[in-house]
Amino acid sequence: MELRALEALVQVLRCGGFTAAADRMETTQPTVSKLVAQLERELGQPLLRRDTRPPVATDAGRLVLTHAEPMLLAAANIRAGLSDLSLAQGGELRIGIPPLGPQLFVPLMHAFKLRHPGIELKLFEDGSKAIEAAMLAGELELGGLLAPLDERRFEHIMLIDDRLALLAPARSRWSRRPVVRLAELAEESLILFLAPYMLNERIEEACRQCGFVPDIAGRSGQIGFIQELVRSGVGVALLPRSELRHLGAEDFSISALVEPQIPWRIDVAWLRGAYLSHAARAWLEVVRAERGVRAG
């Protein structure tokens, strides 16, 4: 049983399809399909239902998945440990950065490089789902994830605990509203992040609980572009308050969102039981020092 075939199965289920799994594994979609089919032939049972979108695991597939993830983690631990033996105070750290993470991570990166100039930071910039999948596959040691997290899989340190706010054009009906109820946005066009991002799910679920399906004006993976779309009047956006502090009142209106409040908390996380390189341990020391968190 090849680890590469197990990884293909895990990535198809975690990424939601063969094409996304191929992108994650830096290979082709036919290769991923071949690896999964090879595993199914070897085990003598179908592991995926291919008549659904996205593919879902069969009972046999779920059983294999529960064993495959620890096996992939163990292999990643072996590779990381062997690499760590030869790196001394140099080396690299692979860390996942969410799309709303720069203001959180840049100060930490600055503090880290002052203490450890010989360690190269390799950044994986994507949403929480993609970062989580990359961590489970052993491609990342650390990542910024949207809380709450699965405590059975992850250990974590909170970076920020925030709430979403309404960002609208300065000359809009919201300009004199310090507080806005979510239900009042039923007739507005919203600008969201790209479809796989977990924050979208929270916004859309909150809208449904308020009795409406949001009208989506557009999507982007870049907060700066979303802000420009809002400024030009394409739509409004729901973004963390901490990401809006630098925006000028001449271009934007910012209102607190209530009924309900939508939380936005980012934690730096790592897999329980994973081997952490000296670079990853050094990063966590910096995080604890900067955030005033005690180890343990």
CA distance 294 to 35: 44
Give helix 3-15 / helix 128-136 axis angle, nearest 10°: 160
Query: Which structure tokens are listed for 239?
Result: 């973004």
CA distance 60 to 107: 46
pTM (global) more than 0.75: no
Per-residue pLDDT of the chain (296 residues; tens, 9 = 90+): 788 899 999 989 888 889 988 988 889 999 999 999 999 999 998 999 888 888 889 999 899 988 888 888 888 877 776 765 555 455 788 999 988 877 789 999 999 999 988 888 999 988 888 899 889 888 899 999 999 999 999 999 999 999 999 999 999 999 989 999 999 999 999 999 887 788 899 999 999 999 999 999 999 988 889 999 999 999 999 999 998 988 888 999 999 999 999 999 999 999 998 888 888 999 999 999 988 754 44
Identify residue 157 by its one-letter amino acid code: I
Query: Which structure tokens are listed for 144?
Result: 């910024």
28 within 8 A of 22, measured Cβ to Cβ: yes
Q: What are the pLDDT digits (tens) for 115-145?
A: 988 888 999 988 888 899 889 888 899 999 9
Burial 37-49 (b: 16+ CB within 10 A, else e): eebbeeeeeebbe
As beta bridge partners, residue 121 has 93
Q: What are the pLDDT digits (tens) for 237-284?
A: 999 999 898 888 899 999 999 999 999 999 999 999 888 888 899 999
Which residue is listed with tokens 């420009």? 228
Q: What domains, with CATH codes, occur in the chain?
A: 3-83 (1.10.10.10), 87-159+266-291 (3.40.190.10), 162-264 (3.40.190.290)
